[in-house]
Amino acid sequence: MGAGIPAPAARVLIEAGRRMDARGWVPATAGNLSLRLGPGRIVITRSGVHKGFLTEDGLMLVDEAGAPADPGLRPSAETGLHCGIYRRFPEAGAVLHGHSVAATVLSRQAGAGIALAGYELLKAFPGLSTHRAAVQLPIFDNDQDIARLQQRVEALWALQPAPLPGYLIRGHGVYVWGRDMEEALLRLEALEFMLACELEERRVR
């Protein structure tokens, strides 16, 4: 259950889940959220619960390898993607996985990535101080073998000096992270806004 999870951390996750639900980004049991309390102490949502109606019982503690603090609890398979982010980026303090219509539809139609250029909101991402920036949001093919999917993510990161703090999984949604939950939510909103614009642009053309 929520044993060992500080109430303020639980509150942060519960509020973030409600926010995502209000936007329609966590339908059914889709999506997951996590927060790193300190080295080896990550609070993550359990699988099978609706993220818009989280309670402390829907949260559990794991370490960066994904091992649960309470051996009686089984973490969700996608915990592996959260942990991969925390291992690779020491500054990451919060990870969000959302499941929007725009991210799903665009990722099903696109190739290896989606180019985002000319948006003022690109400034929400590190190292992009102007709307003239252009980024390539990577898309990975969905895979029920999460370890294998994480290896493909790491293979791409190995090629990049400063990976973008976000990526898409085809037909599945977006992963995004930040130093804390506030920054992760800001980046999620910025990314979803640009994806919503991209979907509209593809319609109008």
Residues that bind a copy of itself (CB under 8 A): 23-24, 27-30, 50, 99, 101-102, 104-105, 108-109, 118-121, 124, 129-132, 142, 144, 169-173, 182, 185-187, 189-190, 192-193, 196-197, 199-204
Q: What is the distance between the alpha carbons of residues 191 and 145, in angstroms, rounded to a whole number?
A: 26
Closer of 61 and 94 to a copy of itself (Cβ): 94
Instruction: Tell the smallest beta-carbon distance from residue 86 to a copy of itself (Å).
Output: 22
Residues 6+ away with beta carbon under 8 Å from 34:
13, 42, 43, 44, 45, 79, 82, 86, 94, 95
Closer of 46 and 61 to a copy of itself (Cβ): 46
Closest by CA to 100, choosing from 25, 29, 20, 21, is 25
Return the bridge partners of 41, or none: 38
Q: What is the distance between the alpha carbons of residues 101 and 25, in angstroms, rounded to a whole number?
A: 8
Closer of 15 and 70 to a copy of itself (Cβ): 15
Instruction: Tell the smallest beta-carbon distance from residue 196 to a copy of itself (Å).
Output: 5
Kindly give the pairing relationship between strand 32-38 and strand 113-117.
unpaired
Closer of 9 and 185 to a copy of itself (Cβ): 185
Kindly give the pairing relationship between strand 59-62 and strand 94-98.
unpaired
CA count, 13 A, side-chain hemisphere, 186: 12
Instruction: Tell the smallest beta-carbon distance from residue 118 to a copy of itself (Å).
Output: 5
Closer of 85 and 106 to a copy of itself (Cβ): 106
Closer of 28 and 162 to a copy of itself (Cβ): 28
Instruction: Tell the smallest beta-carbon distance from residue 199 to a copy of itself (Å).
Output: 7
Q: Are 133 and 117 in contact (CB under 8 A)?
A: yes
Q: What is the distance between the alpha carbons of residues 8 and 14, in angstroms, rounded to a whole number?
A: 10
Instruction: Tell the smallest beta-carbon distance from residue 125 to a copy of itself (Å).
Output: 10
Instruction: Tell the smallest beta-carbon distance from residue 107 to a copy of itself (Å).
Output: 10
